[in-house]
Chains A and B, each alone.
Chain A
Amino acid sequence: MPEANPPVDNPPVGRAQLAAATRAQFTRPPRSLWNDAWRRFRRHRMAVAGTVVFLGLVLFVTCGPLLARNDPRAIDFSKSMLAPSRAHPMGTDDLGRDMLARVMLGGRISLAVGVASMLIAITLGTLVGALAGFAGGRVDSILMRLTDLFLALPVVPLLLLLIFLFRDALRRAFGPETGIFILIVSVIGLLNWMTVARLVRSSFLALKQKEFVEAAHALGIGEARIMVRHILPNALGPIIVAATLGVGAAIITESVLSFLGLGFPPDTPTWGRLLFDGQNFLDLAPWMVLWPGFLIFLTVLSINYVGDGLRDALDPRSRR
């Protein structure tokens, strides 16, 4: 991609003022690919709102627990299922624990699961897709067969099965919380790389025919370097969009697992786990369900809007 139009050196015109004016006109900051994307992204109002909301949520769960007055794990039966009040802005749960503190603590885990499993899925997908697209031939057809096989796997039943079967082994190996975290994150990542692999493969197939890759070949640059330094940056757009939407999907998947009782252990209050615990108290303490559910919804909604904005911004066809 051309980085920018070089400032045009105008032939000197008689009047110095005019020359200065012309130069001023042509020396505005160069327009780079990322600058353009950022300009288009800002124009997408809902995407900007989504970014603000999402960053707010991240701040809420990372810094919130530091400021919280209540201990998320302090059980106090005299405060069981109190409605939201000044002391407990989101009410308390059946064991008298402060919902606000629990929701903030749980959000950390939910968001961490979302980001970590997205990173695994993206890395795997990019590796497979890049290799298939760049190598072509035999490698390509084997890798694509594998991708098709994974695409045909029934994801949710398999997720449930894998987590159920390997839960105890990992819990013993890494402790209850870390073990389940590793398991959930890797299983979600392992079952969601396929779309990324296909996207990356098709961009690689298209890009490796381009003149600039040919030029790099002619300059004697090594295959690996061409893949990483020349083709990958140009294929980054769809990967970023898929990564963004992947975080939201992974957060939902984790909460589904926790909601079905196959996720984190009871003392780890992820948002899905809080919903699972709260569903039996729906009539007495609806806030136990409403807050975590609303936060999942808000997070996923903001991520989906950011993804939509990024798709518009990074699509070179909409370049203006």
Chain B
Amino acid sequence: MARYLLRRLLFAIPTLLGISMVIFAILALAPGDPLAQFAADPSVPPEVRERIRESLGLNDPWYIRYVKWLAALLRGDWGYSFASRVPVLDLIVQRLPQTLQVVGVAYLVAIFIAIPIGIVSAVRPYSLFDNLATTFAFIGFSLPTFFTGLLLILLFSVRLRWLPFIYDSTLKVVNWETLWLQVRQMLMPVTVLALFQTGSLTRFVRAAMLENLPADYARTARAKGLSEQAVVLGHVFRNSMIPVVTLLALGVPTVFTGAIVTEQIFRINGIGELLIKSIQNSDTPVVMAITFIFAVLVVLFNVIADVLYGILDPRIRYD
């Protein structure tokens, strides 16, 4: 197991290198100058601009810049943001908690809603409940998050005036009152993200359960005289969770990308909002870093999914 894990992690390295090269190449090939904002600024003379270029290494050929960037990245030096002159790492560390909070809660909510619905749907396929759940799932993953977000704002903030529509990230939870405020402001972003995830998750749980319900071991369990509940929850559900857990791990990066839109709607100052702002400001170091973090997330959760699959399914051997 440990050897497999090690090998799997080693295999992730070339992928990450490949991705970093792709991102770097895109940025290097792109027309446009990261120092364009200085060009428009008359108080920065051309000589100074040239010196800034030199100090940032922008005059080197791209492969030298790539190696330099990679070496610095590995040393933990992620460079400075062009726009705010703050270390990129600090910026990201500042923004990450808000994103993690919303994304994490939303994913948990989605999981806790989707699993029971999926189980009941599979146990009674094509019943009224299953049909309703299926319709709900189709609506869930056909509704784009930006539209659900605006609908919720329209209903709960504009019409009913129950919930705030701008997320206040300076809010510190110190007592019950502030906790209540935090819950209220998280309610809509979490609902938007969770609704989208619940739809597809329900379908996965249902499909996995349907595949296992007629299995031989389920018939054996029934023949032993186990109650239907024990068969479904104790035997079928446990085995059906193997592919679902893998999908859950694989889905984490998608939720993060979904957060980009949600943060934009509710003005949450998370990492997605930082990405959009940095793209608009041509803030290359920040864009590069965030895109790379997303790539690392994808690769990392791929490994996690593989390993989880092995732990959960004893039929899979690592030799």
Contact mask for chain B residues 254-272; partner A; CB cutoff 8 A; 1 contact, 0 none? 0001001100110000000
Q: Are B26 and A165 in contact (CB under 8 A)?
A: yes
Contact mask for chain B residues 1-36; partner A; CB cutoff 8 A; 1 contact, 0 none? 000000000000001001100110011001110000
Which partner residue on chain B sits nearest A303 by CB separation? B142
Say which one of B150-158, B181-189, B309-317 lies at the interface with A. B150-158
Which of B27, B265, B279, B287: most chain A CB closer than 10 A? Answer: B279
Q: Are B26 and A157 in contact (CB under 8 A)?
A: no
Judged by a CB distance under 8 angstroms, whether A223 is at the interface is: no
Q: How many residues on A have C-beta within 8 angstroms of the other chain's C-beta atoms? A: 44
Say which one of A6-14, A79-87, A204-212, A256-264 lies at the interface with B. A256-264
Given known contacts A153-B295, A156-B260, is B154 in contact with A166 (CB within 8 Å)? no
Judged by a CB distance under 8 angstroms, whether A240 is at the interface is: no
Say which one of A30-38, A193-201, A282-290 lies at the interface with B. A282-290
- Contact among A151, A160, A169, A304 for B31, CB-based, below 8 A: A169
Say which one of B68-76, B208-216, B296-304 lies at the interface with A. B296-304
- Contact among A165, A252, A294 for B27, CB-based, below 8 A: A165
Query: Please, which residues of chain A bring their CB within 8 A of the CB of B146?
Result: 255-256, 259, 272, 275, 293
Q: Are A293 and B294 in contact (CB under 8 A)?
A: no
Judged by a CB distance under 8 angstroms, whether A48 is at the interface is: no
Distance A296 CA – B154 CA, assembled complex (angstroms): 18
Query: Please, which residues of chain A bring their CB within 8 A of the CB of B275?
Result: 157, 160
- Contact among A248, A261, A262 for B142, CB-based, below 8 A: A248
Query: Interface residues, chain B, CB within 8 Å of chain A?
Result: 15, 18-19, 22-23, 26-27, 30-32, 138-139, 141-144, 146-147, 150-151, 153-154, 158, 253, 257, 260-261, 264-265, 275-276, 279-280, 287, 290-291, 294-295, 297-299, 302
29 CB < 8 A contacts A-B: A46-B138, A149-B22, A152-B19, A154-B295, A157-B260, A157-B291, A158-B291, A160-B279, A161-B27, A161-B291, A162-B26, A165-B27, A165-B32, A166-B30, A166-B31, A255-B146, A260-B276, A261-B280, A282-B153, A286-B158, A289-B147, A290-B154, A293-B146, A293-B147, A296-B144, A296-B147, A297-B144, A304-B142, A308-B138
